[in-house]
Structure 1
Amino acid sequence: MKVEMICTGEEVLLGQIVDTNAAWVANALMDIGIEMQHRVTVGDRMQDLVDAFRERSQHADVIIVNGGLGPTTDDMSAAAMATAKGEQLVENKEWISRLEAWYQRSGRQMPESNRKQALLPQSAVMVDNPVGTACGFRVKLNNAWLFFTPGVPFELKQMINEQFIPFIQNELGAKTNTKITKLLTIGQGESALQDQLSTLSLPDGIELGYRSSMPHIDVKIFARGDQAINKLAKVTKVIKANLGDVVVATERATLAEEIHHRLFQSGISLALAESCTGGLLASQLVDFPGSSSYLHHGLVTYSNESKVQLLGVKPQTLDDHGAVSIKTVEEMAEGVRGLLDSDYALATSGIAGPDGGTDEKPVGTVAIALAVKGGGVHSQMLKFPIKKRDIIRGVSAAVAYDMLRRALLGEAVIVDYPSYYRYPK
């Protein structure tokens, strides 16, 4: 089955907003074993939309059209689809009733402009949108079903999960037994991962896919068909052994999610002292409900003065070794752990750039420490090859989490990641 996507909107086309919808849809399709074949972005111009619908519908089996279902004059998707088919727009009575009831429940008068959202091409089949006012619909044109979805992300996601995926699986025969295992990795590039795994002989029906979301790379193992599914666990074990320490979690989107899963309601407590990561470690954990069950506190000790006053770092340590040093992060970790006698504490200090580097400690140099109650301190200083500030901070947080993850599992806390250079102590 050939699935494509047409994204609409001037703001998307001109780069004024990042098209996260397209990336999310492509990933959701990959999760059920379907790869998107083609994607195009079209501005809010009637003829351009009509031309795109007519042209792509000759090549695809299914096209997801995203955006242009709102009440304003620049929302043209329904009208363009009607023009492409040579049909009239017809008011959908069911959707009008839904809109009126929705506004009545909220105690408001429905604006007249919202009636436009119930105008669908004459041959359209309505697609439910239970969380918004934009009516979805699908239409057959040439070889393809065009499936129209709202641009609001949470409305799109619900429609894809509840309406689109069942449609292509049940009505278009795309439903095959498929199972996917996702391995989360850090410390190795996408191409290097692929090269490393290219020597493996995979059984029929099993394929590998890769998705980069810095600082992580997902390795996806697709099994299609019952025979392949039966071999998936064994193949996954072989791949994990082949990749070694770069595999940091299974079926997790981030290392923060993995740490939350391991600490939530475990009775284990964590404290954080952050310099170069600037609260990123704490922020990623508190994204998850229930993080208060294990996170004691997170301190952003950016200045040397705060490291001394709040964490008890010795001024002599800073004078002798500098803020970005093994000795400093060890004292930071011990200091923040001791405030509430936490079970574990993480500390980071580094040079995230773009300035501040030296020949001895260039931009991308980061020191990380893990203090363990009754178990001393583990520390390392790494040099990351990428010089972008946000990536350096993100990778630093990921390595810190991985140190904690390994300690929780009773594994070696310090390991070598192929893409990162570790300074000797």
Structure 2
Amino acid sequence: MTTGIARRLAASVALAAFGLATPALAQDKISDKTVKIGVLNDMSSLYADIGGPNSVAAAKMAIDDSGLAAKGWKIDLVSGDHQNKPDVGVNIARQWIDNDKVDVIADTPNSGVALAVSNLVKDKNVVLLNSGAATADLTGKACTPNTISFTYDTYMLANGTGKALTKAGGDSWYFLTADYAFGHALERDTSAVVTTSGGKVLGGVRHPLNTSDFSSFLLQAQSSKAKVVGLANAGGDTTNAIKQASEFGIVAGGQKLAALLLFINDVHSLGLKTAQGLTFTESFYWDLNDKTREWSKRFQKVSPKGTMPSMTVAGVYAVVLHYLRTLDTMGGNPHDGAKVVAKMKELPTDDPLFGKGPLRADGRRLIPAYLFEVKKPEESKGPWDYYKQIATISAEDAAKPLEASECPLVKK
């Protein structure tokens, strides 16, 4: 009897010991050298030119430049079109994570989509590398331990263009705003800067995303008599608004257009004759220095349309590169999003496009910004020579101070 009990007790202890060891064994098993990246953006509509297939090309360059393939890593890349609809974006992301075992989602232009995907990413414990979405809420009240915002945000845009134009005499504003999360955040942040800088907001009107006819909105802006008409929109909405504003004679009538978010692809589409004189803020321009020129010329060769990279495309490259280098430093992919993002924040970023810089506790990459003006046609020396730099905004001034952050990850 005693012997039988002893044997059963020994067996129970052995099983218990095995059970305790199992998580460690499982952890060792899932930490490997495989990673799957999903580029999620607008492939076919108003934001396709500023990201779309170009962002996929940039991600591929980051994979190649990481050198991980030569070290035995297996890296897969997939892409999807969220159609600027949060439900579509979330469904694609969920399928990728659940069925295709995607570890990280990159780009996500359209703030409504990005906010929804960020919540899903947190629940599923994978990673979101945001380059395309502008809302500062992603590193503010909606921040998560799984999301990085790398390239820019509405706070940066407001404190660049909004502050500069107000201090230059544009002290009354009227907004044309895209009616979704991004437009609302950009109008909110710019209005705050205008008011703080001594200006006034006379009003505004909101338009649906992907609007083709801006006539009624522009007439309201014209009748407001505001010195500055602030375009709190992006992509095709911005270019359409600028073209139609020219037809309505808004600038000729003495009002100034503020393109609060303008990309090089937008200027290329408008042409210098129409876009000349526009003032705007970006954190990247292909012709900034030798390193940006060298990389951008490499990129142009693989770009599906042979274009120069936008700010957000450059951001996709840089943040994916930092993610992959972090995995390499970790010695493998733990397939634990929060753990990887925490390590990304520990390691300083360093790439040829944005240089060296930290990732803050809120997930925001500290990065300088630049106030640009579109050149006159006679000032341009050749294709894609569109910008002249007016001012540099320090990385600290381009990001909301941590002491003012609403991000619950920030210790105060």
Which category describes the TM-score, using the shorter chain as reference length? under 0.3
Which structure would you say has the larger RCO, counting Cα contacts within 8 Å and 6 or more residues apart?
A: 2
Larger radius of gyration: 1
Higher helix fraction (1 or 2) = 2
- What is the TM-score normalised by the length of structure 1? 0.26
Higher strand fraction (1 or 2) = 1
